[in-house]
Amino acid sequence: MAKKTKKTENKEPKNIIITEQKITDTLEVNYMPYAMSVIVSRAIPEIDGFKPSHRKLLYTMYKMGLINGTRTKSSNIVGQTMKLNPHGDATIYETMVRLTEGNGSLLLPFVDSKGNFGKQYSRDMAYAAARYTEAKLAGICNEVFGDIDKNAVDFVDNFDATMKEPVLLPTAFPNILVNPNQGIAVGMASSFCSFNLAEVCEATIAYMSDPDCNILDYIKAPDFPHGGEFIYNENELSNIFETGRGSFKVRAKYRFDKKNSCIEIYEIPYSTNIETIIDKVILLVKSGKIRDITDIRDETDLKGLKIAIDIKRSADPEMIMTKLFSLTPLCDSFSCNFNLLIDGRPQTLGIKGILKEWVRFRMDCIKRRTKYDLDKKNTKLHLLQGLSKILLDIDKAISIIRNTEVDAMVVPNLMSGFEIDEQQAEFVAEIKLRNINKEYILNKIQEISDLVSDIADLNALLSSDTKIKRLIAKELKSIAKKYGSPRRTSIIADTETKALKAEDFVEDYAVKLFFTAHNYFKKIPMSSLRTSPEQKLKEEDSILCEIECTNKADVIFFSDKYNVYKMKLKDIADSKASVFGDYLPNILSMEENERILFCLATTDYSGYVFFAFENGKVAKIPLESYATKTNRKRLINAYSSKSPLIGIRNADGDCDLILVRDTDKALMFNTELIPLNTNKASGGVQVFTMKKKSFITKLFTADEFVSENKEAYRIKKLTSSGITIPEDDKESNSIPGQINIK
């Protein structure tokens, strides 16, 4: 240990050199090349509708002869693609999966697949390994690679310069608009929705004829592989078509099996998946936001997608689906950002801008293809013109070849003998001995007139952009007829969708409210109450109010300090019979020493509230006086403070009330005798004739008062001194002495 320590002490410290560098220089040298590589060579599609990874894979399959041949193992395709794309077999196979018909990601798949390639609409339905699946190019690829061997596009070296690959693919239709395409680069992103092939072809033809045409007349709306319902809003769609940015909504399609009380969802938005939807629905059920769903299952099979939702037989399936559309990805937004590379530069374009660039690109492809065909035909014509001169004297040509002693002199001798150039002489010299006859040469020469005509047509095509556009239109019509299909995503107007209010999201179920003398409050679902009817209360506590209503109701509490407290029942948690409930001073933020006297529940604020005061007056206040446009939880001066309050009652309309004066007198009256007063602080009208030092002690409804002859207490007009209470009625109604609520 000592030696090691000594060596450590003698060791000289390294010189650490720190140099300052501007952050802008660091970004420019180290970060910008990476950012540009991601933007240009990875994440953003080009005008042909492909990213580099797609292009490399499809071109490899084309070179493997898979455009017309039989399927081969996917692992073979992946291995061959690595000659162009060295980023690993896993990423190449994942790219291939998305392009397959089996995965269902594209409206117009490019790969004809066999085996399990998973499903785009399922997060958990994984694709099989490459060694188990097979693939070849789909028929539409004939329109993608049709001109690639005729110099229609540029070719560049691959990563190790061992072979060539195309910069773009000469797609004969605007693939950039036909298939969905999304990518995230550095500092920018791209998101293309898909449109119906036939509609896109029709719109392109119309645009070439009239650049000022209305694209919405041809492309109705986006069209997705999964179908669903597109919620049409013309302003939103027009903005997307013009700017290339914006968002729209797509919702699921469903049917209701009335026999089994089951909602079957069979098409979902492209931007979501089955598992996400099911997880969200389960969460809503567990949180109590939706109570009418009893089960949800994934019943997707070989016949297609299906999510089964079992509901209660009493439930409204349309209302449930409306809530699910609002609360789950069953109705989802798709954000558009039509960002693509044009000549290596990212640009965000609207539909017309994209069509303009595609038409320019396609015209260039056709010009290059035409130039290639023209060069081939000119070369052939030139050779046949030389052959026609040989026809004048075949024997002379044979004699020249036979009498030439040196092989290298055959071509020069033919050139001088017939006044033809070297290329023509080489062609004549290469003719087989058996073909040096008049018949063969005449047949060949007959092609000259056809070649002259073809060359004239090709020159006319090259010199006329109008003719090139007509050719493009002809090709588009053929493609639309051959590969076009009806729309999968149907269109509904946004006015047809039901907009839910906040209260619509509140689950509507029957509840019973309990309010006790010690100011405890319980909201118990009726379904729970049936199993546990006995209420747990504190010692010496008693229930003052029992109210049956729904969870959508508002509950109103009247306090002894002339305040009203309001709450929505949905904001109060469900309780059980086995607990005390919520202590109101805690949940209402009441004043110190304030006590709740009475509570009621309402859904529409109809009916009246009746206040009985110690001075014999009764106030009749419409319940709507306590309704507020804002969500106020506390109202002051909720009732009169001129005389102590004896009791509060409420009813949907006029009813019979009974007032008890002191301990000996009572009267019953109908509240229609009391004029309505919208002023909450009204002191009311005199009902009982009061003696000196007498006061009202109790308030009853007719149903609450126990008597064999209630009508004996009735008065026909205000005011009255009341009727003497028999002893039996005193005992039945607990009227032994004075009771005052103060």
Catalytic residues: 132
Calpha distance 590→634 (Å, rounded): 9
Q: Which residues are bridge partners to 340 per DSSP? A: 347
Q: Provide the token pair at 579.
A: 């607990």
User: Ramachandran region of residue 447, left (φ > 0), alpha (ψ -120 to 50) or beta?
Assistant: alpha
What are the C-alpha distances in Å from 358 to residues 48, 215, 491, 539? 8, 15, 27, 83
C-alpha–C-alpha distance, residues 381 and 386, integer Å: 9
The 8-class DSSP code of residue 258 comes to: T
Give the three-class secondary structure for 73: strand
Query: At residue 713, what is the residue type?
Result: Y
CA-to-CA dists, residue 260 to 52, 197, 264, 311, angstroms: 50, 39, 11, 9
Whole-number Å distance between alpha carbons of 167 and 542: 85
- With contact defined as beta carbons under 8 Å apart, do 186 and 34 qualify? yes
- 525: β partners: 511
Burial 490-526 (b: 16+ CB within 10 A, else e): eeeeeeebeeeeeeeebbbeebbbbbbebbbbbbbbe
| Cross-strand pairs, 133 | none
Q: DSSP secondary structure string, 580-601? A: --EEHHHHHTPPTT--EEEEEE
CA distance 99 to 134: 13
Treating both helix axes as pointing N-terminal to C-terminal, what angle do 465-483 and 351-391 enclose, rounded to 10 degrees? 110
Reduce the DSSP state of residue 494 to 3 states and report it. Answer: helix
> What's the residue count for the chain?
742
With 0-12 CB in 10 A as exposed, 13-18 as middle and 19+ as buried, what is 438? Answer: exposed
Identify the DSSP state of 720. Answer: B
Q: How far apart are CA 554 and CA 382, in angstroms?
A: 96
Paired tokens of 587: 């949940």
Q: 510-516 and 564-568 as β-strands: parallel, antiparallel, unpaired?
A: unpaired
Within 8 A by CB and 6+ apart from 117, the residues are 97, 100, 102, 103, 127, 128, 133
3-state secondary structure of 335: strand
DSSP string across 591-642: PTT--EEEEEEESS--SEEEEEETTSEEEEEEGGGG--SS---EESS-S--S
Tokens of 76: 């073979």
Contacts of 488 (CB under 8 A, 6+ apart): 107, 223, 224, 225, 226, 227
Distances (CA, A) of 127 to 34, 123, 138, 255, 421: 31, 11, 19, 29, 62
Nearest residue to 336 (alpha-carbon basis) of 193, 197, 195: 193
Query: On the CB side of 40, how many CA atoms lie within 13 Å of its CA?
Result: 10
Reference 109, options 192, 227, 170, 197; nearest CA is 197
Residue 62: how many CB atoms within 10 A of its CB?
A: 18
